Chains A and B, each alone.
Chain A
Amino acid sequence: MLKGVLGLLLLSVLSTGDNYGYGLVTQLRAAGFDDLAEGTVYPGLTRLEAAGLLDSHLVRSDAGPARKYYRLTDAGHAELAARRTAWTDLVQSVQTATAATLTAGETA
């Protein structure tokens, strides 16, 4: 996975509603990130929380110990917007570069 993408994914999923560690893993796997490891997601959440982008609270669970749910803070929303813009710019730049390379290859 590209540098910085996990943060964008976590912030994006959390922008749709509160969620907890393993819940986020299953949601991202369902979205197509089959190889995503829990060992990558959990520290990612911890770092985002430490950076003040996420807030957390405990919710009692019938299935076992209380789950730690995360939600976006105002700073998190702002960060998500910035990361989305950066991602869109990156995708656009890559598309432009690869299209130019492809065209040059075909004419050669």
Chain B
Amino acid sequence: MNLIDRTRIETAVARYDFWLEMRGVRGSRRRDLRRELRANLTEASADVGTTRALFGIGSPKELAYAATDTDPSRPRWSQGLIWGAATLALLVAWLLVTSLTIVQSVEAAGVTRAVDVHPFPWFGTTFTVQSSPGTLQASISPLWQLLAGPLFVFLFVAQPWRLLRRRRPALVHDASSEQSA
């Protein structure tokens, strides 16, 4: 097998592993599944060629989903982190826009004393702005939303309560994937 074919197989295996991780499959199980797919692809590649072998497994994402239908998986930490980080980025951008709007409004109003603003939906957070000729002071406190929002999303997506699930014998479902064969 040449280097290009080896690379194509390893790429497919890596994509499969990525989606297994996204499904919350634990590391040792992922290693088993990865090894098995690599061995099967190598066999198939030697038999019918790499292109046909890769075509045979279809999308690594769908393969990973089909393989873990009945897996009692661990919490989806990776997905939780991704969505938590995305939420944090969104909140920070929103906060910047809100802050700029408040500062511009205070400056436009020509108010020189300190102004406290409690804008929607930043409940419990106070934006304080003091604008006088030559100086501009702005502060925000407390910023619990920046912690609570991403944390809530992280927990909601990662579902750590999966740790509490007791391992039950998996039921065999051949349904959807078989019908597409």
Contact = CB atoms under 8 A, between A and B. Distances in A.
Interface of A: 1-7, 20-23, 25-26, 35-40, 42-44, 46-48, 50-53, 61, 63-68, 79
Given A7-B172, A65-B38, A66-B39, A44 B70 contact: no
9 contacts: A7-B172, A22-B39, A38-B57, A39-B177, A42-B67, A47-B67, A47-B170, A61-B43, A65-B42
Interface in B20-49: 32-33, 35-40, 42-44, 46-47
Given A46-B67, A68-B35, A40 B40 contact: no
Interface in B45-68: 46-47, 53, 56-59, 62-63, 66-68
A15 B71 CA distance: 24
Given A42-B37, A51-B170, 4 more contacts: A3-B178, A44-B177, A47-B172, A65-B35
A52 B169 contact: yes
